[in-house]
Amino acid sequence: MRFLPLVLANLRRHKWRSVLTTLSVALALFLFASLRSVVTTLDANSRFGAANRMIVQNATGIVFPLPMSYAARLQATPGVEAVTWANWFGGRYGDGKRFFANFAVDPESYLRMYPEMVIPEDQKQAFIRERTAAVVGKRLLEVFGWRVGQDVTLQGTIFPGDWTFTIRGVYTPSNRSIGDDAMMFHYDYLYERFQNRVTPGWFVLRIADPGRSATVAKTIDDGFRNSSDPTKTGTERAFQAGFMTMWGNVRLLMGTIGTAVVFAILMVTGNAMMMSARERTGEVAVLKTIGFTDRTLFVLVMIEAALIAGTGAFMGLGGARALYGLADTNVLGFLPGFHVSDGTLVFGSGIAVLLAVASGVVPAWRAARLPVVQALRKVE
């Protein structure tokens, strides 16, 4: 627009003020995007779950295992196509500071159950063949500097002692919500050493018709209700969602902080705009004398506010998106697939608009309503 040079010139009047204010907006929106992404990532992960997979766990609690004999009964349940099982191992590597999930699985059936874990075929076969083999997520190779073919030793916490595995395969998740830093080894290897104490931690089922998940769950749970190990069966999605609630009231916390951040930045921007406005009453009077209408002046001030908010938003939101995308963040293994969603970008842009309006409206209104004659008299 033809008035743009005027607006830009005004911003350049106090270069540092404009720069600092824009940077404040950028920082605030970067923070906002980061906080909101924690929530959106948790939500996305909680919604992860193939519609045709179900989890069977011990009704008493997730830490309680289930008898191996259940496998056959589950396979025989109408609607169930495939069954596999796993056991949480909870081993530590090195000094144990870097947490990662590791569990014992039934190799063939487990990998078939989770096609999202993409492994080269030869590695997959090597893993299945060798009892002491392990498959690791590709991130673990980076984190620990492991190579395929290397022996790694974990310290058992639930199953004490040193456990050595040979890495035969590396998986890459095709779905962001599956972590890329888990490790799986043979269930039989665990059973060998701890025969009395090892039974499956949970079962995973594939059902033929996702629409019948509720029926299947009821059949299974009713069947085991009166046994010594009653079951709780649910879709994988519900299971994941339950996991996510364990984070506690993260949403509220992030939301509250986010609000505080936005308000704080509103103070900063509004203040800067008001200061600029106060210094320019004389000039506004001159412009009106030349013939600029009230409305034009209102718009000019609003554009100024919009430029600051807009540039800051671009830098802050764009920066967050780029940073987390490039760095492929995983936040210590707890938030796989951490990234800034499109929704967050939209929300953040909305805040920028709000910021522009709120910080600009009072100075713009005052500029528009400035009584020229009074202003001139003060000036002369």
Partner 1 sequence: MALVEIRDVHKSFQRDTQKIDVFTGLDIDFAEGSFTALMGPSGSGKSTLLNLVAGLDRPTQGTIAVAGSPVSAMRASELAPWRAQHVGFVFQSYNLLPVLTASQNVELPLLLAPLSKKDRQERVKLALDIVGLGDRADHFPRQLSGGQEQRVSIARAIVADPTLILLDEPTGQLDGKSSQEVLALLQRLNAEFKKTIIMVTHDAHAAEKAKTTLHLEKGDLIEKRPSGAMAAL
Partner 2 sequence: MKVPLIYNVRSVMQRPVSTAMTALGIGLVVAVFVAMLSLANGFASALARTGTPVNALVLRRGADSELSSGITREMASIIAASPYVATGTDGRALVSPEVYVVVAMPRPGHDTLALANVVARGVSERAFDVRQNIRIVAGQRFQSGRAEVCLGTKIAGRLPHSGIGDKIHFGNRDWTVVCHFSAGGSSFESEIWGENEQFMPVFRGDVFQSVSFRLRDPAAFDEARRALQGDQRITVDVHRESDFYREQSALLGTVLQFLAVMITSIMAVGAVFGAVNTMYAAVASRTPEIAVLLTLGFHPRSVMASFLAESAVIAAAGGVIGCLLALPINGLVTSTTNWNSFSEVAFAFRVTPMLLLWGLIFAVVMGVVGGFFPAWRAARLPVVQALR
376 near partner 1, rule: CB under 8 A: yes
242 near partner 1, rule: CB under 8 A: no
Stretch of residues binding partner 1 (CB under 8 A), selected from 75-83, 153-161, 285-293, 336-344: 285-293
Minimum CB separation of residue 227 from partner 2 in Å reads 9
Residue among 77, 294, 319, 361 that touches partner 1 (CB under 8 A) = 294
Q: Which two tokens stand for residue 215?
A: 């029926």
Max CA-CA distance within the chain?
97
Residue 161 interacting entry, from partner 2, partner 1, none, C-beta within 5 to 8 Å by type: partner 2
Residue among 54 and 364 whose Cβ is closer to partner 1: 364
- The residue ranges that bind partner 2 (CB under 8 A) are 14, 16-17, 20-21, 23-24, 27-28, 30-31, 35, 59-64, 90, 92, 96, 99, 155-158, 160-161, 228, 230, 232, 234, 238-239, 241-242, 245-249, 253, 256-257, 260-261, 263-265, 267-268, 270-272, 274-275, 279, 332
380 near partner 1, rule: CB under 8 A: yes
298 near partner 1, rule: CB under 8 A: no
Contacts by residues 35-38 (CB-CB < 8 Å, ≥ 24 positions apart): 35/254, 35/257, 35/258, 35/261, 36/254, 36/258, 36/344, 36/347, 36/348, 37/320, 37/324, 37/338, 37/339, 37/340, 37/341, 37/344, 38/250, 38/254, 38/335, 38/338
DSSP string for 120-184: -HHHHHHHHH-TTEEEEEHHHHHHH---TT-EEEEEETTTTEEEEEEEEEEEEESSTTS-S--EE
Residue among 2, 121, 326, 342 that touches partner 1 (CB under 8 A) = 2
Residue among 177 and 281 whose Cβ is closer to partner 1: 281
Identity of the amino acid at 340: V
Cα 294–chain centre separation: 47
Residue among 122 and 279 whose Cβ is closer to partner 2: 279
Phi, psi of 89 (to 5 degrees): -100, -40
225 near partner 1, rule: CB under 8 A: no
Residue 246 interacting entry, from partner 2, partner 1, none, C-beta within 5 to 8 Å by type: partner 2
Cβ atoms 15, 312 nearer than 8 A:
no
18 near partner 1, rule: CB under 8 A: no
Rounded Cα distance, 324 and 321, in Å:
6
Cβ atoms 239, 49 nearer than 8 A:
yes
16 near partner 1, rule: CB under 8 A: no
List the one residue out of 340, 333, 274, 370 whose CA is nearest residue 96: 333
List the one residue out of 340, 334, 338, 339 whose CA is nearest residue 181: 334
Cβ atoms 167, 136 nearer than 8 A:
yes
Minimum CB separation of residue 310 from partner 1 in Å reads 20
Length of the chain measured in residues: 380
275 near partner 1, rule: CB under 8 A: no
15 near partner 1, rule: CB under 8 A: no
Residue among 229 and 294 whose Cβ is closer to partner 1: 294
Contact residues: partner 1, CB under 8 A = 2-3, 5-6, 9-10, 12-13, 282-283, 285-294, 296, 372-373, 376-377, 379-380
